């Protein structure tokens, strides 16, 4: 099958199918990131770092899938979210190679990324608003994690909140996808020219 035929088939796929692909990539990211942390905690740092690089590659794919998924809600905010997601991945990859500036944390970018994805989810007509609210809370949590006093006292709660929020969105996308009709309606409404 040629690349152009494959691209055409992907572009013709329903939004629900594309959302399920995003959910599957999200699941692969979760599995890879958890495995990487497990290996690093067991002093198998080289293997853990290799898995972290794979996890970041998966998150880059997820970020691009989310850009297209949420573009009908607000094109500019979806692009801004993608930029924050890609910057977070870049800083994370630099950390793997010990090249990241010491004061720069990927959580700064991922916090804003989750905030924006949460807002876009909440404003969408094709996903439950509860998922958006959870993602906004996760984003605030990741940003609060950067304050040493908060990180020291609330780190477990912040991590649990972030994992629950992101896992909820991931599972919803994987199992339910999105409401195709509402996604298409929102896409056509944002594509229609504004008349004065």
Contact 170, 119 (CB under 8 A): no
Predicted local confidence at residue 6, as pLDDT: 62
Residue bearing tokens 């229609």: 192
> In 37-68, which positions are buried (b, 16+ CB within 10 angstroms) versus exposed (e)?
eebbeeeeeeebbebbbebbebbbbbbebbbe
Residue bearing tokens 């309606």: 185
Q: Is the dihedral of CA 33, 34, 39, 40 positive or negative?
A: positive
Predicted local confidence at residue 183, as pLDDT: 96
Predicted local confidence at residue 15, as pLDDT: 94
Does pTM surpass 0.75? yes
Predicted local confidence at residue 192, as pLDDT: 65
Predicted local confidence at residue 10, as pLDDT: 64
**10-residue block means of pLDDT along the chain (196 residues)?**
69 88 97 95 92 98 97 97 98 94 90 98 97 97 90 90 96 96 92 57
Contact 91, 110 (CB under 8 A): no
Predicted local confidence at residue 196, as pLDDT: 43
Predicted local confidence at residue 61, as pLDDT: 97
């Amino acid at each position: 099958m040629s690349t152009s035929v494959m691209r055409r088939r992907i572009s013709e796929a329903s939004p629900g199918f594309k959302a399920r692909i995003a959910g599957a990539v999200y699941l692969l990211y979760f599995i890879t990131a958890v495995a990487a942390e497990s290996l690093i905690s067991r002093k198998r740092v080289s293997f853990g770092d290799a898995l972290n690089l794979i996890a970041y590659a998966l998150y880059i794919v997820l970020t691009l899938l989310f850009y297209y998924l949420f573009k009908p809600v607000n094109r500019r905010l979806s692009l801004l979210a993608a930029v924050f997601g890609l910057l977070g991945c870049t800083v994370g990859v630099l950390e793997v190679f010990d090249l990241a500036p010491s004061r720069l944390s990927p959580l700064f970018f991922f916090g804003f990324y989750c905030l924006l994805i949460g807002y876009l989810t909440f404003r969408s007509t094709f996903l439950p608003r509860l998922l958006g609210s959870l993602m906004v809370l996760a984003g605030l949590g990741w940003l609060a994690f950067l304050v040493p006093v908060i990180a020291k006292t609330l780190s477990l709660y912040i991590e649990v909140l972030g994992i629950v929020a992101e896992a909820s969105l991931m599972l919803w996308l994987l199992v339910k996808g999105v409401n195709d009709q509402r996604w298409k309606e929102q896409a056509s409404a944002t594509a229609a020219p504004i008349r004065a």
